[in-house]
Amino acid sequence: MIWLVFALLAGAAVLAVLVPLSLRAAPLEAAASDKAFYREQIAEIARERAEGRLDAEDAETARAEAARRLLRAAEASGARQSSSRKARLVAALATLVLVPALAVPLYLRLGAVDMPDMPLAQRQAASKPRFDISAAVEKIEQHLAEHPDDGRAWEVLAPVYVKAQRFDEGVHAYGEALRLLGATPARHAALGEAYVLQAEGAVTPAARRNFEAALALDPKDAHAGYYMGLAAEQDGDKARAVEIWKRLLEEAPAQAGYRALLRQQLERLTGESFADKPQSAAGKAVAALPEGEQRAMIGRMVEGLAARLAQNGSDVEGWLKLIRAYSVLAEPEKAAAALAKARAALQGKPAELARVEGLAQELGVGKEAVR
């Protein structure tokens, strides 16, 4: 396409030069004036001869001289016009030959003939600055070299190390985050997983200790529970692995992404199908309602749970369900309020409070308020 545009532009440039050259030049003013003068002189001689002012011999002599001068003027004009035509022809040929002969080698030397055309969207995308993950990691590492007690920085860096398969550094970073920021189910489970990846899939004693610590804080932590099932299988206790994974599958929310992994592992160990079970009658009834009524019914159930917890705040399982329900319903303000009430109700119960804090961190509850 670009070559067609170049050809059209070159053609237009050549025509702009050739058209004026191809037009016939106007008669030269000097030659036209000479010829008119000599013609008028011949006519004057004829009038004077008719009036008797010149005899025949003088008139013939004067006419012959004027005719010779007229002939010389005509020959000079023709020569000049011929010279002009030759000059126009030379200029036209030079334009046709020299312009392409010079332009094409010049472009081949200075241009980029083999470079394909790039669409506008790709040029704009190429011009946008890109986030350099290695530069960001280097900056955080420099920060930690000066401030090694920044637990948040370790926690940010740890998953980056693991994703880059720098497992030794990932284990160290997760360990520092856990030491500096405190124990939560999520931190213990993440450190345990880093140990497993470091050991190429084996649930080592260090990994197991962290998964057990996570489950001590939250017995329903699916992340740690999955790896405990994997540890049971590696120990040769397939029945225990199936038991753990079945329980996790039954407790997993319908939208949980890890349900497929649990089904795959269970089917591998048992050879049975673990497709999602049909909904109960109550579940089908709720699902059959229009979306607005369905949401209203779920909202009433959640508010009923909140009212019950207002009467009995020691039910940690109830607080976990309430906070999770508000998060699923995309009501962050209510989730944050429930978190605050759970903290107040569970004062003096560090194990239960740790489970609530772990869930809040997992779901990101309360972060909006901090910002």
Output the CA–CA distances (angstroms, integers) from residue 309 to 223, 315, 333, 338, 363, in the order listed.
Answer: 27, 7, 17, 10, 20
Band of residue 166 on the pLDDT scale cut at 50, 70, 90:
very high
Residue 353 has pLDDT above 50, yes or no: yes
Task: Select the more confidently predicted residue: 124 or 350.
Answer: 350
Q: What distance in Å separates the CA atoms of residue 282 and residue 76, rounded to the nearest whole number?
A: 116
Domain ranges of the chain: 2-110, 183-270, 281-370
The pLDDT score that the predictor gives to residue 25 is 46
User: Which range, 114-128, 191-205, 304-318, has the best average confidence (pLDDT)?
Assistant: 191-205
Does the model's pTM come out above 0.95? no
At residue 210, the pLDDT reads 96
Residue 36 vs residue 234, higher pLDDT: 234
What integer is the mean pLDDT of 172-186? 95
Q: If you average pLDDT over each of 50-59, 201-210, 311-320, which comes out highest?
A: 201-210
Average pLDDT of every residue of the chain: 78
CA 357 to CA 217: how far, in whole Å?
10
Q: Are 183-270 and 281-370 equal in CATH topology?
A: yes
Q: Pull the structure tokens for residue 98.
A: 């020299």
Q: Does domain 183-270 fall into CATH 1.25.40.10?
A: yes
Tell me which residue has tokens 């099932």. 229
DSSP3 helix / strand / coil % (the chain, rounded to 5):
80, 0, 20
User: Of 9-23, 141-155, 338-352, which one has max mean pLDDT?
Assistant: 141-155
- The percentage of the chain sitting over the pLDDT mark of 90, rounded to a whole number, equals 30
Residues 78-135 have pLDDT tens digits of 555 556 666 666 666 666 666 666 666 666 666 665 666 666 666 555 554 454 678 8
From 105-109, 167-171, 225-229, 300-304, the region with the lowest mean pLDDT: 105-109
- Structurally, at CATH architecture level, domain 281-370 sits in Alpha Horseshoe (1.25)
Across 50-64, 263-277, 323-337, least confident range: 50-64
Token pair in block for residue 188 = 């213990």
Nearest-angstrom CA–CA distance, 209 and 178: 14
Q: What is the pLDDT at residue 110? A: 66
Distance (Å) of CA 155 to CA 71, 178, 223, 280: 108, 8, 17, 41
Rounded to whole angstroms, the Cα distance separating 230 from 236 reads: 10
